[in-house]
A and B are shown apart, each in its own frame.
Chain A
Amino acid sequence: MVTERVKEGFAEGVATAPARRPSRLKKRIKGSVTGWLFILPMVFGICVFTLYPIIQSLYYSFYDYNMTSRFDFVGLGNYIEIFSGDSDMPKVMANTLLFALVNIPVTLCGSYLLALFLNANLKGIKAFRVLFYLPCTMPAIVSGIVWSYIMRYNVETPGLFNQMLAAVGLPMSRFFYADNFSAVASIVLMNLWSLGGGTIIWLAQFKNIPRQLYEAAEIDGAGAVRRFFSITLPMSTPMVFYNLITNFIVTLQFNGTLTFAPNTGAGNGNATLMFGLKIYLEAFRRTNMGYACALAWVLVVAVGLVTALLFKTNKWVQYDN
């Protein structure tokens, strides 16, 4: 009986429905066309300004390309050169790692402590918040120039820091002009200038911590230190993790020395030559675009690996309230 009815229904369907039912793909496209139209400008922008250059740089990394008259296929030659032939690379790696090791903890801890201070309920604290954030509104090139004046090493017209050193009877420092660790330390010192940027993110996170937790802790007799270690710090670990990753990526790509350090940013004795700057110098100063692209891809892989490692070890991050 059932079979008969099914047969009838089938026969009816064949007789009354269109020749073919719309496929699932067509249905999905029809259902999502409006959405696609909404995101089309963004998709187009990403394809043209992000995806295409990424593919292009990968393509160039296999060529000896000087941007004017030479475009020769070299296979993995550029990559081999990075790891075996480029005499700058040991110095570049050492400087970059040293900078990362010093800069990331200093800026993370510095901005965190500053945020704790700015989060306090004190009179006039809003003015301090504005003051600390103001340097971030200054373009990087301007702050680079300002800092090159502040740290200027010149017997006749010393910069502000050297004037201060001289005032207390200390010898002048070469800062960016030094050919040793002092040059990298000067950059770390300079980066403290823009701590306010990171502070904003911390403050936002602090505001998200439920007040009830603090109230409950206070009722239980927890002091300020206990509240910090038991509530504030654990509750801000997601942002610590976020800041750690973004700081790490930004630090590895750092090329700010270009605007103030001698020797086209590489410093004396290549003291400030780091990975980001090396890519820039190879691409535009030596016009080795193919090699620069290969360097960029090595950096991408390195950043990807370290980020993956950080994600694998993020058990200390407390995502739950």
Chain B
Amino acid sequence: MKKILCAALALVLSVGLFSACRPKIIQKPDTDYDVNIDIASDTEGTLRILVPTTDGGMEEGYIEALIPGFNELFPKVEIQLDRRAISDDRYMETISSAISSGEVPDLFYTNTVYYYYLVAENCIISLEPYYAAEQARYNETGGQEGLSLDADYYTEFFDMSTYDGNRYVVPRSMDSVVTYYNTEMLADAGINVKTDERLQSTEENPFTWNDLVSLCEEMSDYLVSAEGQQKYPLGYALQADLDWEAVFNAIMVSYGSQAFDEEGNVAIDSEATTAMATMLRNLYEDGGDYRIVRSSTSGSSFANGRVAFHFSSSGPASMALNAGVNGKFDALPFPLILDEDAGLTNPAIGCGFAGWGISSLADETTRDLAWQFLKYMISYDGQQALINAGMATPSIRIDLAEGKTWSKGYSDINLDAWLQWRDYKVSSKFFITQDPSATFDIYSALQNFMRNLVDPGLTGATTPRSVEMCIAICEEDLTEAIA
């Protein structure tokens, strides 16, 4: 009898223990749910907003700038910042830890690459019901209330977070890659930045990749001269940040190269990829001792004044923080890769977004409050608050972006560089056919591909690998990533 009792007790304890071990998982949220956009101003509540701690406090500063204005509308809503380490390597870790621990923010910070993971893992909800309700209100009131994305916003940035026909993220601003150039270096090399036709960007005379290459070659000639070496030791022509998805994706799209086909099969080994890779490798080799092109993950450093051209999405205010280039830079759009003879007729400009999505675990009231916060963020007042807080990228609102108010004090810079060629702007979607857990491995595979082409030293290769070998390695890495 004792033995039976012990066995039964052990069984009950085991079942209890394993039940306790069973984790909570998120079910797929409804894409069609009831929303309330008429929240009473005396509604009480708390909103937990995820902000990265790894960006020097930039996003946190933006949210804090929004709080006073939002609290004027909803004085009884407390905003709590959920500070977490967020980077390409650690985003999934951060989010999954938050969810498995039950400490889930109501608003998830996300961007062009991260959002796919959030959506696929059921972490955030579709915002379509809110957009529809706001648009209906806008129509009813003749634009006095509600929200109309088509009327007031750059909709393509809202569309970038589309998945299965639903949009999930409200972008706080628009990120678009531009080409910065160091006016002093170009002038030293004998290039007249005012009159040189290659440094113009108009409908008739767009700034193209060929223009950039031609300028870089001239720059390289200067850098290897005695004068150039004296003034710019270790200088080089183009910091391309080719391992940044906004850049390499645009180049790949322009060439018609793709990581995966529509069925999700690895499709990197193609004529288009070979043509693109050969072009980049030629740039690397043509530079000689003073290489023309470099890949770098150093973001918007502009090589501290030692590089003539630099791709970046930072606004002029951010760029001016760099003492090496302050007061001696201007901007052009990302160069259009256009060459009819080579069949390149589909140029692309890399762009993306940073913004917030609403947690699928938030209750109805919190969800509606979270929406109100996002709505305030993209309102005229909200965007002004962000601009005053130092937001260095163009506003997501057409009126503020085109009015150039987004970059005070830099009116002499070509601010149109961020806005030109709207039709050519593309965001990164190369991972969308794959399981979200593979996103960052795919990203790494493509980053390594670019580094292999133009910075072989970074990838451990003792000698530069051939273009064919680089493609083969990338194909292997992609296959492994999705295996």
What is the interface of chain A, defined by CB distance below 8 A to chain B?
A: 52, 55-56, 59-60, 65-71, 87-88, 153, 155-156, 174, 177-180, 183, 262-264, 267-269, 271, 284-289
Interchain CB contact under 8 A, B21 and A68? no
Q: Considering the chains assembled together, what is the distance between the CA atoms of A88 and B481 in angstroms?
A: 11
Q: Which residues of A are found within 8 Å of B27, using beta-carbon distances?
A: 69
B210-227 interface with A by 8 A CB criterion? none
User: Nearest CB to that of B444 among chain A residues?
Assistant: A263
User: Nearest CB to that of B121 among chain A residues?
Assistant: A68
B421-457 vs A, Cβ < 8 Å mask (1 yes, 0 no)? 0000000000000000110110010001000000001
Q: Which residues of B are found within 8 Å of A67, using beta-carbon distances?
A: 23, 96-97, 99-100
Q: Considering the chains assembled together, what is the distance between the CA atoms of A286 and B95 in angstroms?
A: 12
CB distance from A270 to the nearest CB of B (A): 10
Q: Considering the chains assembled together, what is the distance between the CA atoms of A221 and B437 in angstroms?
A: 70
User: Nearest CB to that of B481 among chain A residues?
Assistant: A286
Q: Which residues of A are found within 8 Å of B99, using beta-carbon distances?
A: 67-68
B93-122 vs A, Cβ < 8 Å mask (1 yes, 0 no)? 101110110000000000000000000011
22 pairs of residues in contact across A and B, judged by CB atoms under 8 Å: A52-B21, A60-B21, A67-B96, A67-B99, A68-B95, A68-B100, A68-B121, A69-B26, A69-B122, A70-B25, A71-B23, A87-B480, A177-B458, A177-B460, A178-B460, A179-B460, A183-B460, A284-B96, A285-B89, A285-B441, A287-B93, A289-B96
CB distance from B430 to the nearest CB of A (A): 18
**Known contacts A66-B437, A68-B96, A177-B459, then 12 further A-B pairs from the complex at CB < 8 Å, ordered by chain A residue:** A65-B23, A67-B97, A69-B25, A69-B28, A71-B25, A87-B483, A153-B457, A178-B460, A264-B89, A268-B461, A284-B93, A285-B441
Interchain CB contact under 8 A, B444 and A68? no
CB distance from B102 to the nearest CB of A (A): 12
Q: Which residues of B are found within 8 Å of A177, using beta-carbon distances?
A: 457-460
Most buried by A among B17, B93, B123: B93
What is the interface of chain B, defined by CB distance below 8 A to chain A?
A: 17-18, 20-23, 25-28, 89-90, 92-93, 95-97, 99-100, 121-123, 234, 437-438, 440-441, 444, 448, 457-462, 480, 483
Q: Which residues of A are found within 8 Å of B441, using beta-carbon distances?
A: 285-286
Chain A residues touching B, majority SS: loop
Interchain CB contact under 8 A, B123 and A268? no
User: Nearest CB to that of A267 among chain B residues?
Assistant: B460
Q: Considering the chains assembled together, what is the distance between the CA atoms of A55 and B123 in angstroms?
A: 27
User: Nearest CB to that of A65 among chain B residues?
Assistant: B23
Q: Considering the chains assembled together, what is the distance between the CA atoms of A289 and B440 in angstroms?
A: 16
Interchain CB contact under 8 A, A269 and B460? yes
Q: Which residues of B are found within 8 Å of A153, using beta-carbon distances?
A: 457
Q: Considering the chains assembled together, what is the distance between the CA atoms of A285 and B22 in angstroms?
A: 21
Interchain CB contact under 8 A, A174 and B23? no
Q: Considering the chains assembled together, what is the distance between the CA atoms of A5 and B27 in angstroms?
A: 78
User: Nearest CB to that of A66 among chain B residues?
Assistant: B437
User: Nearest CB to that of A67 among chain B residues?
Assistant: B96
Most buried by B among A69, A174, A284: A69
A156's partner among B22, B96, B234 (CB-CB below 8 A) is: B234
Q: Which residues of B are found within 8 Å of A70, using beta-carbon distances?
A: 25
Q: Which residues of B are found within 8 Å of A88, using beta-carbon distances?
A: 480
CB distance from A23 to the nearest CB of B (A): 12
